[in-house]
């Protein structure tokens, strides 16, 4: 790999420095975690699927005018990307009420959320990613009001683009988490990943889970689901090009 030093190791991805100081390699691993890291496993092929899905969705966003970190899929599991200064926010967009939202607030299960809800959590393991409001975010120096306004605007645009794209593929985009960073010129750019690890995808007809909820629920066909959703989202030619032999 054209990489040097490991600069960041997350729960399912690593980030490596490259020869170019403005670029990094994002390496998707097979590790999978849930419940604040309490439930763990390693699923062979998951990194491959997530790298293909993320690259495809970043490509769709770029085509629609959204700045993303992604430059190209260099090889299976390895995305060449712009180096960003990451903002420690988990920006969650919700179209349907499910998951932790139901535990915290009296929404009805599967209640349609129109307009969508944007929620921001503090990405901080020590504090278990607490939900933020704008005043706390600004007082902590995490982001400015201007940054927050822009992040919200971009997230709503991403929600529209991805919901429409995925609908055509037979997938309902229920909710998802994004992470943003700033590039060397101070522009806000979408980073991280958009994969079944970070989104809720439901089959548009059967409402069957096509994402990490299968792992959270302890199903034994998690990899089958990731491969199925990869086949639904990624073009045939790319599936063939990057096929693991
Ligand atoms: N999510 C994520 N990382 C997190 C928390 C949430 O990728 O640390 C995603 C999750 O997969 C879902 C959406 O954000 O698509 C909303 O998650 P929720 O707040 O409902 O939390 P959960 O029920 O997944 O704990």
User: What single string gives the DSSP state of each residue in 179-200?
Assistant: -EEE-TTS-EEE-S--STTTEE
For the segment 14-18, the average pLDDT, to the nearest whole number, is: 97
CA of 21 to the centre of ligand 1 (A): 32
CA of 75 to the centre of ligand 1 (A): 28
CA of 130 to the centre of ligand 1 (A): 12
Tell me, yes or no, whether 94 and 195 share the same domain.
yes
| pLDDT number for residue 161 | 99
* Domain that includes residue 64, residue range: 6-84+222-241
| pLDDT number for residue 58 | 98
How far apart CA 179 and CA 191 sit, in angstroms, is 6
Q: Which residue has the least CA distance to atom 2 on ligand 1?
A: 198
Tell me, yes or no, whether 95 and 185 share the same domain.
yes
Report residue 65 CA to chain centroid gap.
18
How far apart CA 120 and CA 221 sit, in angstroms, is 31
In a domain, 115, yes or no: yes
How far apart CA 10 and CA 229 sit, in angstroms, is 23
Please write the tens of the pLDDT for every residue from 181-202. Answer: 999 999 999 999 999 999 999 9
| Residues 67, 200, 164: CA angle, nearest 5 degrees | 55
- The rounded mean pLDDT for the chain is 97
Q: What is the CA radius of gyration of the chain?
A: 17
For the segment 204-213, the average pLDDT, to the nearest whole number, is: 98
CA of 52 to the centre of ligand 1 (A): 21
In a domain, 191, yes or no: yes
In a domain, 33, yes or no: yes
Q: Which residue has the least CA distance to atom 25 on ligand 1?
A: 100
How far apart CA 149 and CA 5 sit, in angstroms, is 34
In a domain, 215, yes or no: no
The total of structural domains in the chain comes to 2
Q: Which CATH number covers residue 236? A: 3.30.200.20
pLDDT grade, residue 98 (50/70/90)? Answer: very high
Does this model's pTM top 0.85?
yes
How far apart CA 16 and CA 1 sit, in angstroms, is 10
Tell me, yes or no, whether 176 and 229 share the same domain.
no
Reply yes or no on whether the pLDDT at 1 is more than 60. no
Pocket lined around ligand 1, Cβ cut-off 6 Å: 90, 92, 99-101, 129, 175-177, 198-200, 212
A 10 A CB-CB count for 104 gives: 10
Tell me, yes or no, whether 117 and 177 share the same domain.
yes
In a domain, 214, yes or no: no
| pLDDT number for residue 129 | 96
How far apart CA 162 and CA 87 sit, in angstroms, is 22
Tell me, yes or no, whether 13 and 41 share the same domain.
yes
Tell me, yes or no, whether 67 and 100 share the same domain.
no
């Amino acid at each position: 790999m054209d990489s040097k030093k490991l600069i960041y190791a997350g729960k399912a991805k690593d980030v490596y420095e490259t020869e170019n100081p403005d670029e990094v390699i994002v390496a998707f691993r097979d590790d999978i975690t849930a419940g604040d890291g309490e439930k763990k496993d390693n699923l062979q092929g998951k990194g491959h699927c997530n790298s293909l899905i993320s690259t495809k969705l970043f490509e769709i966003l770029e085509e629609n005018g959204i700045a993303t970190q992604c430059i190209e899929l260099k090889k299976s599991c390895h995305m060449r990307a712009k180096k960003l200064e990451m903002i420690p926010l988990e920006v969650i967009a919700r179209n349907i009420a499910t998951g932790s939202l139901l535990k915290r607030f009296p929404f009805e299960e599967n209640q349609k959320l129109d307009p969508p809800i944007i929620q921001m959590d503090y990405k901080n393991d020590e504090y278990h990613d607490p939900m933020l409001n704008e005043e706390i975010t600004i007082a902590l120096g995490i982001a400015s009001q201007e940054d927050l306004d822009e992040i919200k605007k971009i997230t709503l645009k991403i929600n529209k683009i991805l919901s429409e794209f995925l609908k055509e593929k037979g997938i309902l985009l229920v909710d998802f988490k994004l992470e943003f960073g700033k590039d060397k010129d101070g522009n806000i750019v979408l980073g991280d990943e958009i994969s079944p690890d970070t989104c809720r995808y439901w089959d548009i007809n059967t409402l069957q889970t096509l994402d990490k909820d299968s792992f959270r629920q302890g199903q034994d066909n998690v990899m089958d689901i990731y491969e199925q959703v990869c086949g639904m989202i990624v073009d045939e030619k790319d599936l063939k090009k990057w096929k693991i032999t």
